[in-house]
């Protein structure tokens, strides 16, 4: 394994409750040191209150992980009464990342800094419409969005045979999803006494039948909701399949196929899907190559260096679509694929070839 010749510090900012990414990265600190980097870490609360750890090197690579503690306390907290994934979430999230950016600037004034993903983008791309606008401009294949303001027009599309997803504009993890066909309406929101209710956790968002419930749809489409044409997903041995593609500096470093029952509504792990690396050799090779090329194009378009991109293959075995772009992707199990070590090896290579650091 190569080692960098000039000392650089990797700074991670994250919370220990983040078992899916931050803790997996932090666990590999011995490997990071062995690769020639210095390594320091701090949680968001301490960082934002002046607790930046000592950094001895001139150059710093900053990894920002999802701020779970702040999110659970100030954004999606237990007493929150609004609907999940709305504009209030987004405004608070953008404000948080502006604070992070300002604090980093004040703390690292004398350093040359490289962001794996800029704090500006961490907030900005929570907005699915912002991402979609960029997709449209560059002709990135993604599910069609509809601008519909009333239930009648929505039902007209269903009667014409279109299947639709209704998703929170600022949501993630398959939470707040409503799936509509002509004969079946399903949602993982709750609806009681004429009010849409959001579950206060990341898991347990079970789908419920609300077929024919016009009152629910009427309330839902008045919220910050995207209406999206459903992709007729590829089925493999009676399983619905998609791909989570990890890109790092515009290079595909891992593909993690996911599967769920054919009658399932999503392929989110949080919705009961399973990661299954054994599926990859069984997928059409031309579609996989096409998906890898698309993933690198999207990461470059958005200016992101670490992305977990969800790409779905159509049942016609010709088309692929970007379903979601994740700036804070969960890492695979270390025994399945050690994503941290793969990224660190790539950073060694990039550091020796020359990275474009910024000065605040």
Q: Which of 273, 198, 272 is nearest to 243 (CA)?
A: 273
H-helix or E-strand spanning residue 174: none
pLDDT of residue 276: 85
Structure tokens belonging to residue 259: 């599967």
Tell me the C-alpha distance between 57 and 38, whole Å. Answer: 8
The domain limits of the chain are 9-117+337-355, 145-228, 232-326
- Quote the pLDDT of residue 353: 85
If DSSP states are collapsed to H, E and C, what string results for 198-239? CCCCCCCCCCEECCCCHHHHHHHCCCCEEEEECCCECEECCE
The confidence score (pLDDT) of residue 202 equals: 84
Q: Are 4 and 35 in contact (CB under 8 A)?
A: yes
Residue with tokens 């237990």: 78
Tens of pLDDT, residues 245-290: 999 999 999 999 998 888 888 877 777 678 888 999 999 999 999 9
Output the CA–CA distances (angstroms, integers) from residue 23 to 42, 245, 295, 341, in the order listed.
Answer: 12, 21, 26, 13
Q: What is the pLDDT along the chain (360 residues), one digit of tens a residue?
A: 566 667 999 999 999 999 999 999 999 999 999 999 999 999 999 999 999 999 999 999 999 999 999 999 999 998 888 899 999 999 999 999 999 999 999 999 999 999 999 999 999 999 999 999 999 999 999 999 999 989 999 999 999 999 999 999 999 988 999 999 999 999 999 999 889 999 888 888 999 999 999 999 999 999 999 999 999 988 888 888 999 999 999 999 999 999 888 888 887 777 767 888 899 999 999 999 999 999 999 999 999 999 999 999 999 888 999 999 999 999 999 999 999 999 999 999 998 888 777 666
Buried b (16+ CB within 10 A) or exposed e, 30-69: ebbeebbbbbbbebbeebbeeebeebebebbbbbbbbbbb
**Beta pairing partners, 196:** 191
Q: How distant, in Å, are the alpha carbons of 172, 270, 310 from that of 274?
A: 17, 9, 14
Residues 6+ apart with CB under 8 A from 322: 135, 140, 141, 142, 294, 298, 309, 310, 311
Say if residues 178 and 189 touch (Cβ distance below 8 Å): yes
Cα angle 214, 220, 222 (rounded to 5 degrees) comes to 110
> Options 2.40.30.130, 3.30.470.20, 3.40.640.10, 3.40.80.10; which CATH number does 232-326 get?
3.30.470.20
């Amino acid at each position: 394994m190569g080692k960098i010749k000039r000392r650089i510090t990797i700074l991670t900012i994250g919370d220990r409750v983040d078992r899916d990414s931050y803790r997996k990265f932090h666990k590999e600190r011995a490997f990071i040191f062995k690769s020639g980097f210095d390594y320091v870490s701090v949680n968001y609360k301490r960082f934002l209150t002046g607790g930046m750890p000592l950094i001895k090197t001139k150059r710093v690579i900053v990894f920002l992980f999802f701020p779970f503690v702040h999110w659970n306390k100030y954004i999606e907290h237990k007493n929150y009464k609004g609907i999940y994934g709305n504009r209030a979430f987004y405004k608070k999230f953008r404000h948080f990342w502006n604070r992070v950016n300002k604090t980093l600037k004040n703390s690292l004034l004398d350093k040359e800094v490289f962001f794996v993903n800029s704090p500006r983008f961490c907030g900005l791309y929570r907005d699915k419409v912002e991402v979609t606008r960029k997709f449209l401009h560059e002709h990135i294949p993604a599910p069609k969005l509809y601008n519909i303001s009333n239930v009648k027009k929505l039902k007209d599309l269903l009667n014409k045979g279109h299947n639709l997803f209704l998703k929170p504009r600022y949501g993630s993890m398959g939470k707040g999803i409503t799936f509509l066909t002509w004969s079946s309406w399903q949602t993982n929101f709750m609806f009681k006494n004429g009010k849409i209710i959001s579950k206060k956790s990341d898991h347990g968002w079970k789908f419920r039948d609300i077929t024919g419930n016009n009152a629910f749809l009427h309330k839902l489409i008045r919220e910050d909701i995207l209406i999206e044409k459903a992709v007729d997903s590829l089925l493999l041995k009676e399983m619905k399949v998609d791909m989570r593609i990890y890109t790092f500096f515009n290079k595909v470093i891992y593909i993690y196929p996911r599967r769920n029952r054919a009658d399932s509504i999503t392929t989110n792990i949080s919705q009961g899907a399973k990661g299954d690396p054994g599926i990859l050799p069984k997928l059409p090779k031309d579609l996989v190559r096409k998906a890898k090329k698309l993933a690198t194009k999207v990461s470059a378009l958005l200016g992101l260096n670490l992305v977990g991109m969800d790409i779905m293959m159509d049942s016609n075995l010709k088309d692929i679509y970007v379903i979601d772009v994740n700036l804070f992707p969960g890492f695979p199990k270390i025994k399945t694929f050690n994503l941290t070590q793969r990224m660190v090896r790539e950073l060694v290579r990039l550091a020796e070839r020359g990275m474009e650091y910024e000065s605040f």
